[in-house]
A and B are shown apart, each in its own frame.
Chain A
Amino acid sequence: EADIYQTPRYLVIGTGKKITLECSQTMGHDKMYWYQQDPGMELHLIHYSYGVNSTEKGDLSSESTVSRIRTEHFPLTLESARPSHTSQYLCASSLYGYTFGSGTRLTVV
């Protein structure tokens, strides 16, 4: 049933490195989202897209950027990772209900 995929599942990386978190869906959904979640806390929307070439910032300010060149692909990039970026990042797509990927647990050391 889960047709939305995130890689990597876990990532430990040094400060200052550039990283890209991948998110792909095979459902043909136009709307896609990125959420950030600290351990034990609620999810906060950081980016969303209505379709190809559409990207918007969410409610929570984030230093990350996103792109939407293809309908099925919505990667998130951090140009220079910092320890404050340590968190879980979840990708979702929607038609009516929302479907989430398994998430990427990012640790910046």
Chain B
Amino acid sequence: GIQVEQSPPDLILQEGANSTLRCNFSDSVNNLQWFHQNPWGQLINLFYIPSGTKQNGRLSATTVATERYSLLYISSSQTTDSGVYFCAVDSGGGADGLTFGKGTHLIIQP
């Protein structure tokens, strides 16, 4: 099946810093989503972005489907940005459902 690799696995930053999270995938995809999982375990959808660029406030994402990677940018980090960021893809072939990467554990220190 499709492989999803996220980097870095862990990231510790000071409040106000900017960061870039990367997601590489091994095959063409019909769907790519970025999620934020908060300390209570809730999975919040950030972007549905199988290709192109989107922005939502301090967050933006870019997916280059032909080169099989996606980037999530967080600007002016706040402590509430802490948590785990997951990239997940759906190749559309074979078994259905999203395949998740192992996530990036982000800690924003005040």
Contact = CB atoms under 8 A, between A and B. Distances in A.
B42 A96 contact: no
Contacts, number: 63
Interface in A8-46: 31, 33, 35, 37, 40-45
Q: Is the contact region of chain B dominated by helix, strand, or loop, or is it mixed?
A: strand
A58 interface: yes
B103 A42 contact: yes
Given A31-B96, A48-B97, A100-B43, A42 B102 contact: yes
Q: Is the contact region of chain A dominated by helix, strand, or loop, or is it mixed?
A: strand
A102 B35 CA distance: 13
B29 to A, nearest CB: 13
B70 interface: no
A97 B31 contact: yes
Nearest to A58: B97
Contacts of B1: 59
Interface of A: 31, 33, 35, 37, 40-45, 48, 50, 56, 58-59, 88, 90, 92, 96-100, 102-103, 105
